[in-house]
Chains A and B, each alone.
Chain A
């Protein structure tokens, strides 16, 4: 297959899953062409529900489907999926621990042109605060394929976060996704970088640049919640300092989660991510990542500061 785009990987995997699992229902709020859930609509129109531009209703309808034994996938932009329907997610879905998959597309700054209203830098923080909710932010398209399969087998509410841009894979194709399992992509002994999503690749590049100077361990944390805190502490134990890297606000996202996990060790820690501000428009994705400092150079700088 060899996807380089998470949403294509997601859409096609959803179709493949829909072939074998007739309980899967896909719900859209008029953005199926962007989220790529449109692929499911084309293949299985009878199990696709166009819910219109009405995210609150879509979310509670998904609760009703789950209560009746279906596996609903809600699809819209991450900012709307989590923000606009927060109350419905909390009240209709999470309190009852229902089997609903909330798929937030165009997350982070990846909808670069549309500006603050359409970019989502708080979604992981919002979802992470809700009891029962699993939060998954795959590093690349390979991991997106496997994560999509894994969440169908998991019984309970899941938030799955998708980037809209093409970028190279950093994880192996076909490696089964285990919810809650951080994975070491590069060993190192001086500084550990915990990264999630697109910045995982940036962290690997930073580690390579620093090789010979600083020994950097790179850990892909694609499950933000439940976070295996013991494992995170273990992975940080043999390093002197910690850096986190994410395409999300450092408030309440990966940075916050790692700081919580390492609360007993008190190592120096530096956060690379959106510094408690909203996004803005740019002509291309990398220009915007550069503007917000989510870059290889910034990870290198952070490592050198904490080491």
Chain B
């Protein structure tokens, strides 16, 4: 399926804006998850600014599609998307993690409009998404539940409990997206705790598996649309990505899992992320 160039370009531009917002929300001298935010930015942009049925003016509308960031440490990316979509003012981004802020270090459903669940204790988001998927089916609401997990997160046993259960419940309204950026906090996934091979594992657990380049907007849209057609089983999109994508000095660099920007690198990052 071909998508209009204007659509692809607009999502690409949004992703760039999200990355820029991430850098602004980190500011100078504060630790922030630039790496995992950069790797998921294109997918998040495609979801919030094209694919998902949602309404920033009515964040709790019952038929909305749900987005859960199971890799909750990339919260600043989701906050950037929510601000850009209009859930709250962009000014809030600069107050992330401040005492009393609505934007916490990890997603908090009670504090931030547009956040669907508390996530960040890794491994739980897919299970929560499955619960939502079961409830939506009971309510006969044809909405989708999208859950982004990290490939480091695949080490959590609960992921595989959820994977098994989702097959049993034929959760075809549930789409897991594994952001396979190949790095975790202390090094490469394959060297620290090797969760590969992922496609074979998910397939064995009864999921429809799609693999894409997680920075190619057309591939992202094609995969998300293909997931709509899958019946009777859940879909997983394994997205091959680059950690810290978009900021040259952070790309593929382990220390930017939760790194700090200096005045100089902050300016350089903003320069690189110009619209």
Contacts and interface: CB of A to CB of B under 8 A. Distances in A.
A283 B267 CA distance: 73
Interface in A53-69: 54, 56-57, 59-69
Contacts of B124: 56, 60, 63, 87-88, 91-92
B212 interface: no
Contact of A92 (B118, B133, B138, B139): B118
A67 B161 contact: no
A95 interface: yes
Interface stretch (B23-31, B108-116, B252-260): B108-116
Contact of B134 (A56, A64, A69, A96): A64
B210 interface: no
Contacts of B169: 49
A97 interface: yes
B135 A56 contact: no
A68 B139 contact: yes
Name the residue in A62, A68, A96 with the highest tally of chain B Cβ atoms < 10 Å from its Cβ. A68
B127 A68 contact: no
Contacts of B116: 67
Nearest to B115: A96
B165 interface: yes
Contact of A61 (B121, B127, B136): B127
Contact of A52 (B136, B139, B165): B165
Interface in B193-245: none
B44 interface: no
Nearest to A57: B161
A196 B139 CA distance: 40
A67 B109 contact: yes
Contact of B158 (A57, A68, A69): A57
A57 B134 contact: no
A95 B119 CA distance: 10
Contacts of A60: 124, 127-128, 131, 158, 162
Contact of B132 (A49, A52, A68, A95): A68
A64 B109 CA distance: 12
A96 B109 contact: yes
A63 B129 CA distance: 9
Interface residues of B, number: 30
Given A51-B165, A61-B130, A69 B117 contact: no
A232 B156 CA distance: 43
Interface string A64-87: 111111101000000000000001
A89 to B, nearest CB: 11
Nearest to A87: B121
B164 interface: yes
A95 B134 CA distance: 22
A199 to B, nearest CB: 35
B138 A91 contact: no
Interface hub of B116, B135, B168 (most chain A Cβ within 10 A) = B135
B158 A95 contact: no
Contacts of B135: 25, 64-65, 67-70
Question: B120, B133, B161 — which one has the most chain A CB atoms within 10 A of its CB?
Answer: B161
B157 interface: yes
Contacts of A91: 118, 120-121, 124
Contacts of A47: 138
Given A56-B127, A60-B124, A96-B110, A67 B117 contact: yes
A117 B189 CA distance: 34
Contacts of A62: 131
Given A57-B127, A64-B117, A91-B124, A52 B134 contact: no
Interface string B135-166: 11011000000000000000001100110110
Contacts of A56: 123-124, 127, 157-158, 161
Contacts of A97: 110
A97 B165 CA distance: 25
A49 B134 contact: yes
Interface in A189-218: none
Given A60-B131, A61-B165, A92-B121, 16 more contacts: A49-B169, A54-B158, A57-B130, A61-B134, A63-B128, A64-B128, A64-B135, A67-B128, A68-B131, A68-B135, A88-B127, A91-B120, A92-B117, A95-B108, A96-B110, A97-B110
Leading 7 A-B pairs by shortest Cβ distance: A64-B131, A60-B127, A68-B135, A57-B161, A61-B131, A54-B161, A91-B121
22 contacts: A46-B138, A47-B138, A54-B158, A60-B124, A61-B127, A61-B128, A61-B131, A61-B134, A61-B162, A62-B131, A63-B124, A64-B128, A64-B131, A67-B132, A70-B135, A72-B131, A88-B121, A88-B127, A88-B158, A91-B121, A92-B118, A92-B124
